[in-house]
Structure 1
Amino acid sequence: MRKRSLAALCTATALGVILAIPTAALAADPHPSGFRAWTDNTRIHLDFGSSPRPKRLKVHLRKPGTAAPVATITSFESTPDEDPCSPSCQDDTDPETGIRSAPLRLADLGTYSVDVVYDGTLSEPIVHKDKATLTYGLIPRVTALQVVGTPHLENRTVTVKADAVGLDPRNDTERPLPNGKLMLESAGTSTPVYTDAAGHIETPFTFTGTERFDAGSTTGVRLTLRPEKEWENSPLGQSRTVPTGPRPASKITLDAAKVSAPDGSKAPVGGRLTFKGADGTMKPAPAGTWVQSRDGGWAQTGEDGRFTAQIPVSGRISGLITLTGSAWLWTSYATVAVDPSTSAGFHGMSTTLTQDRKVSLTGKLSAYDLPAPAKLKVLVEFQPHDSSEWITKATRESAAPAGDSTRAVTAALPYPGPGYWRMRYVGAPGIPAGPAGASGIVARVNTAIPEFNAAPEPVKAGRPIAIGGKLTHTRYYNESTWTGYGGQPVRIYFRATGTTAWTLAGTTTTAADGTFKTFFTATKDGSWQARYDQATYDHFAATSREDLVDVQ
Structure 2
Amino acid sequence: MKLKTAALACASTAAMLIVGLAPAASALPVTVAPTLLEAGSVQDDNGVLAVSATSDSAITQITAHFFAQSDDDGTEAATEPETEAGETQDFTLHSGTADSGIWYTSQPVQLAALGDYRTVIELTDADGDRTEAAGGVLDYNYTALFQSFTATPAAPDYFHQEVTVGGRLVVRHPGTRALYPRQSVPVQLLGLDESGAATTATTDADGRFKQVFVPKHDGGVSAYVTGAQTGSPVRIAIAQSATRVTLDAKDVNIKPGQSAKISGKAEVEAAGGVWKPLAGQTVTLDPQGSGDASTTAVTGADGRFTGTAAPQSSKAVNVTVGSDYEGFLAASAVQVARVHVAATTSITGFTASLDKLSQLTVGGTLETGDRQPDSSKAYIEYSKDGRTGWKTVKTLTTGVDADPGSFAGTFAAPGKGYWRAHYKGTPDFGASYSKVLHVTRTATRITGANASPEPVKKGKTITVTGKLQQQLASGAWKAYGSQKVTILFKAKGAATWQVLGTAVTKADGTFKKGFTAKKDGTWQPVLLSPDSAHLVSYGSEDFVDVK
Relative contact order higher in (CA < 8 Å, ≥ 6 apart): 2
Establish whether TM, by shorter chain, passes 0.5: no
TM range (shorter): 0.3 to 0.5
TM-score normalised by the chain length of structure 1: 0.36
